[in-house]
Amino acid sequence: MRDLPAFKLLKRYGFGLLPYSLAKNEKQAIEAAEKMGYPVAMKLISPQASHKTDVGGVRLDVKNHIGVKLVFKEFKSIARAKELGLGGVLVQRMARKGVELIIGGKRDEQFGSMIILGLGGIYVEIFRDISARLCPITRSDVEEMVNELKSHPVLLGARGKRGINLRALEDVMLKTCKLMEKENLKELDLNPVIFDEKGGDLVDVRMVK
């Protein structure tokens, strides 16, 4: 399996990751998709595009090898048109359906590492529904952070829907603080991390050392 530095670091700290592979050509992308099983997600990898959705570099529910081939060609066209260096295409198993959260961190020169929790996905910058703490944190801190979110009824279960697995969320939050402090990261975005009542899937990561 071809690897990405950020994903490799997450694995070292015990984060559970969806099956994925970095493909350099269409043949590799098809082989990866067929090995992990359709449907898959595909993402354009470029050092000039840290936010893949902003450049149109994300495709979900790709259902067969023809779709994989078409998306790969499309990503090459996007890279050429936007003058992006194409590092490959990430092929990833589709995540579960659930609540999209962002778990992130920043390093403050005065106070040290800080962790944030908020509503994630494409809406994170629209709603700005976040809670923050200085690292290290405890499981009780995570519970408090959840309750501070305006969207907390969605996480805890609303309108007959089950709440997310808070234990799984706590585990990811604690590992994130450990990663931030041990690696002295400037910034870290796990966005989205999709949770349901059974667990969570880490979909994408952006980090700045």
- pLDDT digits over 32-48, tens only? 999 999 999 999 999 88
Residue 184: which residues within 8 A CB-CB, separation 6 or more?
Answer: 107, 209
| Mean pLDDT of the 19-24 span | 96
In the predicted structure, residue 2 carries a pLDDT above the cut 60: no
Task: State the Cα–Cα distance between residues 46 and 22, nearest whole angstrom.
Answer: 12
Q: 195: exposed, middle or buried (C-beta count within 10 Å: 0-12, 13-18, 19+)? A: buried
Task: State the Cα–Cα distance between residues 154 and 147, nearest whole angstrom.
Answer: 11
Task: State the Cα–Cα distance between residues 104 and 85, nearest whole angstrom.
Answer: 26
Numbered ranges of CATH 3.30.470.20 in the chain: 99-208
pLDDT for position 86? 93
pLDDT for position 80? 96
148 and 168 Cβ atoms separated by less than 8 Å: no
pLDDT-derived band at 156, boundaries 50, 70, 90: very high
Mean pLDDT of the chain: 93
pLDDT-derived band at 1, boundaries 50, 70, 90: very low
Q: Which backbone phi and psi does 151 adopt, to 5 degrees?
A: -90, 15
Helix (H), strand (E) counts: the chain = 7, 10
User: pTM of the prediction?
Assistant: 0.90
Task: State the Cα–Cα distance between residues 163 and 195, nearest whole angstrom.
Answer: 9
Q: 73: exposed, middle or buried (C-beta count within 10 Å: 0-12, 13-18, 19+)? A: exposed
Domain 99-208: which CATH number of 3.30.470.20, 3.40.50.300, 3.90.1150.10, 3.40.50.1820: 3.30.470.20
- Cβ neighbours, 10 Å, residue 178: 16
pLDDT for position 101? 96
- 99 vs 53 pLDDT, higher one: 99
CATH homologous superfamily, domain 19-93: ATP-grasp fold, A domain (3.30.1490.20)
Numbered ranges of CATH 3.30.1490.20 in the chain: 19-93
57 and 44 Cβ atoms separated by less than 8 Å: yes
